[in-house]
Amino acid sequence: MTPDEILQGLYDQTLVGNAPAVLDLTHTGLDLGMEPQSLLFDALIPSLEEVGARFERGDFFVPEMLIAGRAMAGAMEVLRPLLAETGVQTIGTFVMGTVKGDVHDIGKNLVNIMLEGAGFNVIDLGVQVAPEKFIEAINEHQPDIVGFSAFLTTTMPMFKANINALQKAGLRDSVIVMVGGAPVTQEYADAVGADGYASDASACVKRAKDLLTKRRSLVSA
Amino acid sequence: MLTSTTSSSTSSRSPADIAARIGLIACGALAQPAAALVDRHAWPVDVHPLPPLLHNRPHLIAGQVEALATSLLRRYPTVAIGYADCGTYGALDEVCDRLGLRRLAGLHCYDVYAGPARLQRFFDEQPGTYVLTDFLVRSFGRTVLQELGLDRHPELRDDYFGHYTRVVWLAQEPDPELHRLAQQAADSLGLPLTVVDTGTAGLERAIGGLLTLPVPAFPA
């Protein structure tokens, strides 16, 4: 196979969520001497972006998003250490978790894949994450951004509880806070004092990059 | 999209008959039990169901309800909405405000059947509680497994349900066959089943209250 065929195959097979084929093509590409960055940025990420676009248009639904995400995640298991070895700089660190009392994580996991694909170092704390766990993780990893996810209207108030905990710990100004989840709106994000909100995984990546750029320009000014 | 599946169909009613009746727009998951209650009490209500699978596209619910309500308001003096918030996150309330209509209280039909406080207790006890109703038990293969793609991609089961710890079936009219199907559903998710016999009193109170119709008193 030629490198172009590898890239096209990775794109096509990720799009349809064929995880074994994506893994095979990843290994084949590496065996041919292709750069891990090329496999990631020229095939896997564009494919996942297309999955996101089809989801937004209503052509794809959650199962299609999930199988594509799983296919890409399999490839990332192979590529992640290689990308680290080649010294590819992450664009920022993102601590992510579903808030206390909430076990939903499908959206969060999709966001994680997109963030990682975009170059973020993602630290996923899982589900039912209590405020003190977020504080511990922020102290340990010194992230640029922390993300709170909630799927239920009954657990959304944990956003405010988490932000209060950040303030109490003296960490609020040192980290960007993003919130998201099915019931969340920009108005709600503003009301609880979050810095950013996004309605879906693609939008989250764009918003995270924008917020990071803005924060860094303020720091360097 | 409207498919009347109830015995309260309006097809044979004259405009004069309809002028004395109430149009109830019902979620497809509630339409059958709602129609049964209407028949039992001889309420002057026509049930107009919307497809139950809208629940898997909740962003479409408000628009479809508004379109149907607007149409029904040309014929009925009173129209009511047999939906709770149902994942519309306030969009249905906006429709109700705009058209001057009332909807069922609560976030989901689970609140209607079990009562919000009782339901909240289930989630407080175990946040990973997955709730079924009789409708969902009966239609589990179509409304859950197929809609989530688990028929085609069973490997996704733990992506969806990996953090759930139990299935709670809010049983309205349990019988041995429904018990078998509920157990089968829970088994297919790899979760233990808890059966909570709610009956239909909650739905009866909710619909009666919504339509301000006489409803027999039930113990709280």
Which of A63, A101, A153 is facing B149, going by the closest CB pair?
A: A63
CATH number of this structure's domain A3-86, picked from the four choices 3.30.450.90, 3.10.129.10, 1.10.150.110, 1.10.1240.10: 1.10.1240.10
Whether B142 and chain A come into contact, CB under 8 Å, resolves to no
For residue A128, give the chain B residue with the closest CA. Answer: B127
Is pLDDT above 60 for B216?
no
Give the pLDDT band (50/70/90) at residue A179: very high
Residue B193 shares a structural domain with residue B139: yes
**Residue-wise pLDDT tens digits, A121-158:** 999 999 999 999 999 999 999 999 999 999 988 899 99
pLDDT, mean over chain A: 92
Report the candidate in B181, B148, B137 with the shortest Cα–Cα distance to residue B29. Answer: B137
Is A103 close to B148, i.e. CB distance below 8 A?
no
Domain around B189: 111-197
* Two tokens, residue A147: 């993300």
Its ipTM equals: 0.80
Is A66 close to B156, i.e. CB distance below 8 A?
yes
**Residue-wise pLDDT tens digits, B40-72:** 999 999 999 999 889 888 889 999 999 999 999
- Residue A34: per-residue pLDDT: 96
Whether A57 and chain B come into contact, CB under 8 Å, resolves to no
Residue B53 shares a structural domain with residue B135: no
Tell me the percentage of chain B whose pLDDT exceeds 70: 90
Average pLDDT over residues B142-151: 93
Q: Amino acid letter at B132?
A: L
- Residue A201: per-residue pLDDT: 84
Whether A185 and chain B come into contact, CB under 8 Å, resolves to yes
Which of B155, B163, B189, B191 should be substituted to probe chain A, the one whose Cβ sees the most A Cβ atoms within 10 Å? Answer: B163
Q: Could you tell me if residue B76 is inside a domain?
A: yes
Residue A196 and residue A198: Cα distance in Å, rounded?
7
Q: How far is B172 from chain A (nearest CA, A)?
A: 25
Residue B124 shares a structural domain with residue B68: no
Q: A residues 18-47 near B, CB within 8 Å? A: none
Which of A63, A104, A182 is facing B148, going by the closest CB pair?
A: A63
Residue B127 shares a structural domain with residue B185: yes
Q: Amino acid letter at B206?
A: A
- Residue B218: per-residue pLDDT: 44
- Residue A33: per-residue pLDDT: 96
Tell me the percentage of chain B whose pLDDT exceeds 90: 77
Residue B75 shares a structural domain with residue B145: no
Whether B193 and chain A come into contact, CB under 8 Å, resolves to no
Q: Could you tell me if residue B212 is inside a domain?
A: no
With beta carbons under 8 A apart, name residues in chain B contacting A182: 87, 89
Residue B68 shares a structural domain with residue B155: no
CATH number of B81's domain: 3.40.50
Domain ranges of chain A: 3-86, 92-220
A92-220: which CATH topology? Rossmann fold (3.40.50)
- How many CB pairs below 8 Å do chains A and B form together? 46
Is pLDDT above 60 for B109?
yes
Is pLDDT above 60 for B107?
yes
Q: Could you tell me if residue B215 is inside a domain?
A: no
**Residue-wise pLDDT tens digits, A181-199:** 988 999 999 999 999 999 8
Per-residue burial over A117-153, b if 16 or more Cβ lie within 10 Å, else e, is bbbbbbbbbebbbbbebbbebbeebebbbbbbbbbbb
The number of folded domains in chain B is 2
Average pLDDT over residues B191-219: 82
Which of B87, B127, B160 is facing A106, going by the closest CB pair?
A: B160
Q: Could you tell me if residue B3 is inside a domain?
A: no
Q: Could you tell me if residue B217 is inside a domain?
A: no
pLDDT higher at B13 or B66: B66
Residue B121 shares a structural domain with residue B165: yes
**Residue-wise pLDDT tens digits, A38-72:** 999 899 988 988 988 888 788 988 899 889 989 99
Give the pLDDT band (50/70/90) at residue B12: low
pLDDT, mean over chain B: 89
Average pLDDT over residues B153-176: 95
Residue B72 shares a structural domain with residue B125: no
3-class SS of residue A94: strand
Task: State CA B220 to chain mean position distance.
Answer: 20
Residue B63 shares a structural domain with residue B132: no
Which of A64, A70, A102 is facing B127, going by the closest CB pair?
A: A102
Residue B41 shares a structural domain with residue B16: yes
Report the candidate in B89, B90, B178 with the shortest Cα–Cα distance to residue B132. Answer: B178
Give the pLDDT band (50/70/90) at residue B4: very low
Is A101 close to B107, i.e. CB distance below 8 A?
no
